[in-house]
A and B are shown apart, each in its own frame.
Chain A
Amino acid sequence: MTLQQTTLHAPIIDEGIEKKLSGLTPETIRTVIDDVLSSETGPRLKAYLKTCVHCGLCSDGCHFFLSFDRNPRYSPVGKIKETLARFIHDKNRITADVIRQAAVIAYTECNLCRRCVMYCPFGIDTAYMIGIVRRICHRLGVTPLYIQDTAHSHSAFMNQMWVKEDEWIDTIHWQEEDAREEIPDLRIPLEKEGADVMYSVIAPEPRFQADLIYKAAVLMKRAGIDWTLPATPGWDNSDMAMFSGDNEIMGRITRTHFEAAERLNVKKIVMGECGHAFRSVYDTGNRWLGWTFPPIPVVHAIEFYYDLLKTGRIRIREKFKPRVTFHDPCNIVRGKGLHEKARYIIAKTCENFIEMTPNREHNFCCGAGGGVINCGPPYKSKRMQASRVKAEQLKNTGADVVITPCHNCHSGIDDILHHYKIPMSVTFMVDILTTTMETNP
């Protein structure tokens, strides 16, 4: 089934990109590019650049390329040719216009999903190279306004949505009060030093989706988990600075998250259903700080739910009846191979499961990840066009519900379902679990 592509997106004026461009000279640009390439890259980048034979096999891995009717401009190798390759080869001819184009490509036309890596005969990580382009753009001050604002929020309040400390605590108290109407002795423990588990979430949960914290608390209660949330900064595990190219703030966010867990001296951190945050905590931010692996074990919600079901700490009362499909989030599937654990949970909780095609590590990105949705409304139309293959993939399942354990995927797919008028709803795994589990295990 092929959905119709709508009109090409109109030119976008992004003040965050435009404002600094006028002050950039080729000399300034060259200095920053040389500095980033010489001091922040090494053999990995050289190996990628020397190994790529421009075969184009990466192209079919990219949902932008496929959704834009195989336009080579959107192929992974094409994006590198228009950005990093020019930075390297064009020497002193990199103008502000080139930087503008590079910023648009790097921030809004690549989700850093790493699907193309699967199709490269040499395993070249295009997302890594696009990350270098973003780093250069950040250093030049040329960043989409919305994601830059998010990075500012991270730097000031250590969460991505300007949530003040009292607002976070108040939300938890309010959720606990609501939950106690259902389960009178339920607690959402804040600052419980020495608990087994620190649960961390992303800022949209206290801002817009506080019911997810409520549901997590119900799950913890039913499973008998000794858990806590920090009342201090560090409760938000998300990290848009990782995607804006502000590595220093990325590191500060990750450090704050782990030091909250160290202060509470928990045994492990359980992260809510977010993909990019897992990438930051498990792979990128921790390594910028010098930890090979997280200093305190971190498990994604999918691993946690899997363990709860496998060990019988929660049992399923009655399976979910509607036809469901599953969207594999890039950062926890290509990033950590959690696809089979996710399917185990679905097999335990859902009666009618339909695989989407392709699936598991070959699944298409939701189009929102990598900070693309965080570049804001100006780019939504383009993002929707770039998600045509995703829309077709979703529609072809004929499912009533798509489950995805990632906030970005959730938002991105919700946009796609509305844009392409697909009669399907999107849900988190915890919604399914709390609907189907026994209330008195």
Chain B
Amino acid sequence: MLLTNPQKSSGTVEKKETVDAWMTPSDHLEDIQVSPDGDNVAAMFVNKEGETQLCVNGQRWEHGFERLWYPRFSPDNRLTALAWDGEAWTLIVDDQVWDSRFDYAWNTGFSQDGHHIMVVFQKDGTYGLCLDDQPWTTSFPGIGHAAISPDGTRTAAAVQMEKISEGDIFSFQQGVFSTAVDGEAWTKNFVNIWDPVFSHDGKKTAAAVRLNLYDYSVAVNGEAWRKCFECVWKPRFQPDTDDVVAPVRKGQSWTLAKNGNLFWKNRFTQLWHPEFNHDGSKLAAVVAPAFGVWSVAVNDTVWKLDRFDAITGLTYSPDGSRLAAVGMKKGRHTLIYDGKSCNRFCERVWPPVFSPDSRHIAARIETNGRYTVILDGRVWDRTYDKVWDPVFDDANDALVIRAFDKGQYLKIRAPLSHF
């Protein structure tokens, strides 16, 4: 049973765009995208000439392409899309086309503030990353796990250092993968590299590695920990110290290791997604204390929750004092936070969003086949065809609901008191 406020309010509609009116019958609507601030709504059309075009708030962009895909707004509200002009791929940002041209480009990524934009590219059969229209000067036979530093000035990826023939298992086992940072590879190769991450100042990189078919470890700036494990997952840098922690499997159970040494005392059936809060004082992870039983552990203490089948979307509040996630049980979702379950289950819940003052938690939800938002356990009284993640205003007194309903995009300011 979901609670709603009997004092119904539809909030203040601050923006309305009739997206359906932008179309002519020959157009074909692709996915609608909405900017984080809710002020821009973009749709992709195939125009009468067969070109694909983007249209923002009813204004068509000047540039049309043989193919556009993956339209995405950056955190600073710029609209990007990958574009194919019939000869090469590039990126278009707010209707400005990058100079760089590739045989393929994909996986657009952004720095946390959105000021820097990255894509993965393939050119002449070799691979690299391109940051702010500047491609790596070195490219590689293979690439994966692209990453961007927190300030957005550096990029890294797992790269294949040499071509090997399919079926050449022995060369593979010698190690042909490394991590490249800004196009420059670590000096050592590994059998596998997964999930490179940057330190908070962007000066160091760490990644999960496989030294041979059996020994897993974490490498920091190319140097593997001195200890090996049965398996490892994605590492994390501690914000205040640059120590590296990672989930490790030892003796058929999982725990956390720091700089190669076992760090947490508890042992788990599973442990992944370790996350530090902003000052490093808290370290949380999704854990399975027993087979099929999922919870969250904070500083090695497990939340005492009802049994969950899975947990995702671990999110800290801005001040780092609170933690929330999405719990799944029998195919239904709920929010869990501060060690407790919200116990309001619905079809789907998206990762939680905290208010700037860390006091409130909101999320996008699907209930009875319609979409709306939930705030501190209370559901907004209107539902829509689609909603995007809610956004708190800076004053902490209203929630911006970005919704699409009956062909119209709506930006709604909903006072928190109206929930």
Contact = CB atoms under 8 A, between A and B. Distances in A.
A156 B176 CA distance: 10
B352 to A, nearest CB: 13
B309 interface: yes
Contact of B213 (A141, A251, A255, A292): A141
Contacts of A255: 272
B231 A251 contact: yes
Interface string A167-204: 00110010000000000110101111010000000000
Contacts of A248: 216, 230-231, 249
Nearest to B167: A149
Contacts of A139: 214
Contacts of B106: 165-166, 169, 231
A352 interface: no
Nearest to B214: A139
17 contacts: A39-B251, A152-B173, A155-B191, A156-B142, A165-B107, A165-B120, A165-B143, A166-B103, A166-B120, A170-B104, A185-B28, A191-B70, A194-B386, A248-B216, A248-B230, A265-B348, A290-B294
Nearest to B173: A152
A184 B48 CA distance: 13
Given A231-B106, A290-B288, A39 B166 contact: no
A19 B173 CA distance: 13
A232 interface: yes
A185 B294 CA distance: 42
A295 interface: yes
Contacts of B348: 194, 265, 267
Given A164-B122, A231-B70, A290 B142 contact: no
Given A156-B142, A157-B144, 20 more contacts: A39-B251, A138-B213, A145-B169, A149-B166, A149-B169, A155-B192, A164-B142, A165-B107, A185-B28, A189-B31, A190-B69, A191-B70, A231-B107, A246-B213, A248-B216, A248-B230, A248-B231, A290-B270, A293-B292, A295-B328
A56 B45 CA distance: 66
Contact of A166 (B67, B104, B214, B292): B104
Contacts of A170: 104
Contacts of A232: 107
B292 A291 contact: yes
Contacts of A292: 291-292, 309
Interface string B297-317: 000000000000110100000
- Main SS at interface, chain B: strand
Contacts of A162: 166
Interface string B3-33: 0000000000000000000000000101100
A90 interface: no
A54 to B, nearest CB: 31
B177 A156 contact: yes
The 3 closest A-B pairs by CB, nearest first: A292-B292, A295-B310, A290-B270
Contacts of B292: 290-293
A197 to B, nearest CB: 13
Contact of A173 (B28, B67, B168, B270): B67
Contacts of B144: 156-157, 165, 233
Contacts of A164: 122, 127, 142
B288 A19 contact: no
Contacts of B381: none
Contacts, number: 104
A187 B46 CA distance: 12
A297 interface: yes
Nearest to A297: B331
B101 interface: no
B230 to A, nearest CB: 7
A251 B67 CA distance: 36
A255 B127 CA distance: 25
Interface string A324-352: 00000000000000000000000000000
Contacts of A165: 106-107, 120, 143-144
A16 B169 contact: yes
Interface in A221-268: 231-233, 246, 248, 251-252, 255, 262, 265, 267
A187 B30 contact: yes
A19 B288 CA distance: 39
B179 interface: no
A146 interface: yes
B336 to A, nearest CB: 15
